[in-house]
Amino acid sequence: MNKEFLDARRLLCPLPVIRVQDKVKQLNAGDRLRVVATDPGVMQDIPAWCRINGHRVLQTEEKHGEFFIVLEVGVQ
């Protein structure tokens, strides 16, 4: 299991989700991706994208105006 990081700060919708999608294509099932963003929309957009595409959100957190999401890559 790889643990990867994606910095999507200062990007506005839909770019954070597009960057997550591009990164996940490079990963394997079971890998984890930690995303940090400054657009609050990611707290709904990324989990919705995960549900549609078979990935699992493990954690969401907001801290000091930044939004963190950890997801586990499903079978693609």
What amino acid positions are annotated as catalytic residues?
A: 13
Give dist(CA 48, CA 42) in Å, integer.
Answer: 9
Residue 1 burial by Cβ neighbours in a 10 Å radius (0-12, 13-18, 19+): exposed
